[in-house]
Structures are given as structure tokens and as C-alpha cells.
């Protein structure tokens, strides 16, 4: 089926189920999953409010994230256990041993490759039980579920802002409370706080146009350019109109800035 290798027979058996679709523990897994939605879910992380079922050892492993027990010396990230730390440390080495057979893209861990492979297959095995949305990664489902619950368990230690996922908290800390700029442009040397800021900047040097119109052959460097094109050329989207002078704008932010000029 594939050429993936394992050091233990049990790991191979578990992996084989990804090809066969077998779910030998379906009833037990369903019962365990159901506890997430009932009062039986009594194990709660005191730091981030993440919930666990009766398997208390999972909570104990999770608590290591909030301590310095398995801390990366390179970036300070805390991991659940020594194995997770070893996998994380590999990310600093730059070695990408796992390659996608479809597009050739390489990854540091097999888990990242598995997640990437779903972009080709379109597989979204993680389904929200409150709406019809489905996701390719379990973490994305966890974050989405908080849209329904309104839960924002990740609090900034520098201010009173709360976030629904940990990555948003990290971005907030780097952009608002830190002067560190670890992302350097390879073309001009300009530094940025966030990786997506660097990616947007690099387009200035490469003339990349990643945003394409689905109605015609036009391509654009920035998403707002595509949005304006769709509005003007294909009558797709919503204009935001000033009630005072009837001038139209492609975003609420532009309209709000314009209205201030009338004050």
C-alpha cells in the first residue's frame, strides 16, 4: 500500500488501518468521545481550560506544556513529553526527511506529511457535531468548535486579551508585546515580526500573483485587488456605501476611514 516503515509491529497494525478504514474500537472510542459532551468530562486543565475524559494521564501529560519539564533550548517551547520534544527539536535542524509523492514537498515529521497529503486527497475526516463543517486536521476542528461555544481559553500574560487558539495568542504576543523581528527578507534584509508579513513582503521582489480570478485569467498580488476586481468586473461581492455621499468601498475598514472625513 505504501513504503512507510516501523520499528514495532503494533505501530504497523495501527498504520494499516489508515488504508483499510478498519475501526476495531469504534464502540469504545465513541463512548469515550461522548464523554467530551457530558458532565463525565471532569478533568480540566487549570491553565488553559482544555478538557479530558476519565483518562487522567492525558491531562498529566498535557500539563507538561505549562511547565519547563520538556522545554526546547532553541525557542523555549514546552512539549508534552520527551518524544514530542525530540520531534520539535528536529524542526530547528532544517532536515525534511518526509517527501510528498504527489508534489514533492518535504516535511520534518511524518505527521506533517500526513496532514499535507489531505490537501491532495481532499479528505476531511474531522467533522463538527454542531454544524456541517469538516476539517483535515483535528486541531482545526478543536479551534472551530469554539466558534459555537464562544470559549477563549488562551489569555495573554501581558494584557487582558483572550484567544480561542494558542497560535493566535503567540501571534498577538509577537506583534503587540515584543520588539523581536526574527523573519528576515532574503532579498533586501528587512526584518518582520510575523512570518506572514515576510511572505507578503517577498511578493514585491518576486512579482508573484497568487490570487487568481475564477471567472477570467486575471491574477493579482494582493487579496484586496482581487476583491475589487470581482466587484467591478463580475459584480460579485458586496459594496459598502457611505450614507452621506453615496461613495462605494470594497471593505468596511475603508468605509469607516472615509466616514471619519465627514466628521
pLDDT for position 17? 67
pLDDT for position 1? 63
pLDDT for position 258? 87
The CATH number of the domain covering residues in 97-177: 3.30.160.60
Pick out the chain residues at pLDDT < 70: 1-15, 17-44, 48-58, 94
CB of 192 closer than 8 Å to CB of 198: yes
Matching CATH number, 211-260, of 1.10.10.10, 1.10.4160.10, 3.30.160.60, 3.40.50.880: 3.30.160.60
pLDDT for position 208? 84
Domain map (residue ranges) of the chain: 41-95, 97-177, 211-260
Q: What are phi and psi of 45, to 5 degrees?
A: -70, 130
Contacts of 23 (CB under 8 A, 6+ apart): 17, 29
The two domains 41-95 and 211-260 share their CATH topology (first three levels equal): yes
Contacts of 80 (CB under 8 A, 6+ apart): 61, 62, 64, 65, 70
Q: Strands 219-220 and 211-212, how do they pair?
A: antiparallel
pLDDT for position 39? 46
> Which alpha helices (DSSP H) does 159-194 contain, by range?
166-172
Q: How far apart are CA 36 and CA 38, in angstroms?
A: 6
- Fold that domain 41-95 belongs to in CATH: Double Stranded RNA Binding Domain (3.30.160)
CB of 126 closer than 8 Å to CB of 138: yes
For the stretch 95-135, pLDDT in tens is 788 888 888 888 877 888 888 888 888 888 888 888 888 88
Amino acid at each position: 500500500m505504501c513504503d512507510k516503515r516501523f520499528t514495532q509491529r503494533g505501530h504497523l497494525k495501527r498504520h494499516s488501518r489508515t488504508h483499510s478504514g478498519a475501526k476495531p474500537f469504534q464502540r469504545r472510542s465513541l463512548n469515550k468521545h461522548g464523554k467530551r459532551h457530558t458532565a463525565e468530562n471532569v478533568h480540566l486543565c487549570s491553565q488553559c481550560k482544555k478538557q479530558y475524559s476519565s483518562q487522567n494521564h492525558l491531562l498529566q501529560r498535557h500539563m507538561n506544556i505549562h511547565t519547563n519539564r520538556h522545554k526546547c533550548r532553541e525557542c523555549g517551547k514546552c512539549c508534552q513529553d520527551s518524544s514530542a520534544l525530540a520531534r520539535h527539536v528536529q524542526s530547528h535542524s532544517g532536515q525534511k526527511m518526509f517527501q510528498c509523492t504527489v508534489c514533492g514537498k518535504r516535511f520534518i515529521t511524518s505527521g506533517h506529511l500526513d496532514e499535507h497529503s489531505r490537501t491532495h486527497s481532499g479528505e476531511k475526516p474531522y467533522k463538527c457535531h454542531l454544524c456541517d463543517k469538516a476539517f483535515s486536521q483535528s486541531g482545526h476542528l478543536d479551534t472551530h468548535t469554539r466558534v459555537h461555544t464562544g470559549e477563549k481559553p488562551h489569555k495573554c500574560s501581558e494584557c487582558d486579551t483572550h484567544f480561542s487558539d494558542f497560535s493566535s495568542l503567540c501571534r498577538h504576543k509577537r506583534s503587540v508585546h515584543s520588539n523581536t523581528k526574527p523573519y528576515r527578507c532574503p532579498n533586501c534584509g528587512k526584518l518582520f515580526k510575523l512570518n506572514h508579513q515576510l511572505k507578503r513582503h517577498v511578493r514585491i521582489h518576486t512579482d508573484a500573483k497568487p490570487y487568481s480570478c475564477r471567472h477570467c485569467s486575471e491574477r493579482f498580488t494582493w487579496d484586496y485587488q482581487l476583491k475589487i476586481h470581482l466587484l467591478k468586473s463580475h459584480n460579485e461581492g458586496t459594496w459598502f456605501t457611505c450614507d452621506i455621499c453615496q461613495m462605494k468601498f470594497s471593505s468596511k475598514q475603508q468605509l469607516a476611514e472615509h466616514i471619519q472625513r465627514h466628521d
